[in-house]
Structure 1
C-alpha cells in the first residue's frame, strides 16, 4: 500500500511539473491563435480584446496558469479556440481510437518480440541471422516512410486496404459490420506501428535470452533433463519478465508520440491528429489538454509497470523502485 501511495504521489508531482513546463513553453512561443485576427482589417481591436477576456488571456501568465491548474483538477480543460467546444469533449471523442491503436500495437509488439527474440537466442545460425536482419531493418526504417510506402503499395496500387479514415461510405455505423470496417481501416496503421516497434525489442529480448541461457541454473536444469516448453515456461520467461516490463513502460511515450505522425498520415480521427491540427492553429487549450492526458497515460503505464516489477520480484521493493 505504501508503494502504491508513493507512486501516486510521484505521478501527481510529475503531472504538475509537466503542466508548468508545457504551459510556459506554449504561451511564450511566437504567434498565437489571435495573430491572424490582429492582421485582419475586418476585425476590430475591441473584438479581439473581448475574445481575450472570454478566454482569460487578458490576465498575467502566472494567473492564467493557476486558473488553468484549478480547472484541470475538475477535468475542465477549457474551451477550444478553434471549435468553441469543451476541450474535454473534443479529447474524449477521439481518445478511444488512439487507445485501441496503441493498445493493440503494444500487445502485438510484445508477443512478436518475445517469440522471435527467444527463438533466435535458442536457434543459432541462419534463423538467428535472419531475425537480426529483420530487427535491424525494423529499427532503422522511419515510421512515416513505411506508412507512405504501405499506402502506395497496399492501398493505391493493389487496393487491398483503404487509404485513410475509419469508416467506408455506404456501410452501417453500428453492429459487427461497422467493427469489421474499422478493423479493416486500422490494419495498415497498426502494421506500421508494430513493424516500427518490434526491432529494438527483438534485439533486447534476444540479448537477455542469450544471457539467461548461459547462466548456471539453465545448465543445471538441462542436466536434469528439463527441455522445451517446461524450460521456457519455468526458467527462461520468469527471468525475462522484469526487464521486459521495464522496457515496455519506457516505450509508452514513443508509442503515444508516434500516434501524432501516423494518425495524421492515415487521417485517423484520434488524439494524434487532433494534436497536430491544434498545433497548426495554435489552439492552446486543446494542446495542453492532450499533453496532460498523454502524460497521465504514460505515467500511469510506468506506475503499473513498476508495481508489476515489485509483484514479480519483491527485491525491487526494498530498492525503492
Structure 2
C-alpha cells in the first residue's frame, strides 16, 4: 500500500512537470492559430486581439498557465480553436478506439514475444531459433509506417482483402455484422503495431531464458526428473515476468506515440489522428489536452506494471 501511494505521488509530480514543459513548448512554437492568415485573410488585427481576449491569450504567460492548470484540475481542457467544441468531448469521442488499438496490441505483443522468445531459447542454434531471431531483427529494423503502406498496397489495394482505411464499412445497427466489420478494419493496424513491437521483446526474452537455463536451480530441477513443462511453469516463467512486464511498461510511450502515425495512415479517427490534425491547425488546446491525457495513461500504465510485479513478488520494491 505504501508503494502504491508513492507511485500515485510520483504520477502527480510528473504530470505537473510534464504540464509545465508542454505548456512552454506549445507557447514557444513559431506559428499561432491566430497568426495573420490562419483564420481569414481579411480578418483585422482588432478582431484577432478580441479573439485572444476571449481565450485568455492576452494575459501574461504565467497567468495563462495558472488558469489552464486550474481548468485541468476540473477536467476542463478548454475549447478547440478549430471546431469550437469542448476539448474534453473531442478527446472522449476518440479515446475508446485508441485504447482498443493499443491495449489489444500490447496484449498480443506480450503473449507472442513470450512464446517466440521461450521457444527460440529452448531450441537454441536450431532452425526455429534462427528463423525467430531473423524475424525479430526484421521486426526491430522495420519502420512501422513503411510496413503499413506495404500492407495497404498489397492486401487493400491489389488483393482487396482488407479495407484501405477507417473502422467501419457498415451502418451502426448494433448487430454482429457491425462488430465483425469493426474487427476486420483493425486487423492491419494491429498487425503493424504488433509486428513492430515483438522484435526487441522477443530477443530480450530469448536472452533471459538462455541465462535462466544456465542457472543451478534449473540443473537441480532436471536432476530431480521434472518435465520441461514443470520447469517452464515453476522456474522459467516466474523469473521472466518481472523484467518483461517492466519492459512493457516502459514501452507504452512508444506504442501510444506510434498510434499518431498509424491512425493517420489508416484514417482511424482516434486520438492519434486528432493530434495530427490539431498540430497542422495549431489547435493548441486540443494538443495540450491530448498530451496531458497521453502522459497520464503512460504513467498509469507504469504504475499498473509495478502493482502487477508487487502481486507476483511481494518483496518487489523499486519505489
Match of 2:55 in 1: 55
Cα deviation, 1:237-288, whole Å, max 9, x if unaligned, reads: 0010110111010010000000000000000000000000001111000000
Give how far 1:39 is off. 8.5
Name the CA shift for 1:235/1:115 in 2 (closer, same or farther; >3 Å). Answer: same
Q: Number of residues paired by the alignment?
A: 318
Match of 1:139 in 2: 140
Give how far 1:2 is off. 1.4
Paired residues of 1:38 and 1:45 also in contact (CA < 8 A): no
- Indicate yes or no: 2:149 matched with 1:148: yes
Give how far 1:228 is off. 2.1
TM-score, normalised to structure 1's length?
0.97
Structure 1 stretches of at least 4 aligned residues deviating more than 3 Å after TM superposition: 36-41, 170-173
Q: Provide the secondary structure at the position in 2 that maps to 1:78.
A: coil
Match of 2:106 in 1: 106
Match of 2:253 in 1: 253
Report the Cα distance in structure 2 between the residues aligned to 1:194 and 1:219, rounded to whole angstroms.
35
Report the Cα distance in structure 2 between the residues aligned to 1:38 and 1:224, rounded to whole angstroms.
75
Map of 1:173-184 to 2, 5 A cutoff? Answer: 173-184=173-184
Name the CA shift for 1:116/1:76 in 2 (closer, same or farther; >3 Å). Answer: same
Give how far 1:103 is off. 0.6
Report the Cα distance in structure 2 between the residues aligned to 1:162 and 1:194, rounded to whole angstroms.
19
Report the Cα distance in structure 2 between the residues aligned to 1:19 and 1:126, rounded to whole angstroms.
50
Match of 1:210 in 2: 210
Paired residues of 2:33 and 2:39 also in contact (CA < 8 A): no
Q: Provide the secondary structure at the position in 1 that maps to 2:269.
A: coil
- Indicate yes or no: 2:91 matched with 1:94: no
Report the Cα distance in structure 2 between the residues aligned to 1:236 and 1:71, rounded to whole angstroms.
49
Q: Provide the secondary structure at the position in 2 that maps to 1:108.
A: helix
Cα deviation, 1:126-146, whole Å, max 9, x if unaligned, reads: 111110000000000000000
Match of 2:201 in 1: 201
Paired residues of 1:271 and 1:290 also in contact (CA < 8 A): yes
Report the Cα distance in structure 1 between the residues aligned to 2:241 and 2:39, rounded to whole angstroms.
58
Structure 2 unpaired stretches of 5+: none
Map of 1:257-268 to 2, 5 A cutoff? Answer: 257-268=257-268
Report the Cα distance in structure 2 between the residues aligned to 1:109 and 1:123, rounded to whole angstroms.
21
- CA RMSD across the alignment: 1.2
Give how far 1:227 is off. 1.6
Cα deviation, 1:10-34, whole Å, max 9, x if unaligned, reads: 0000000000000000111101001
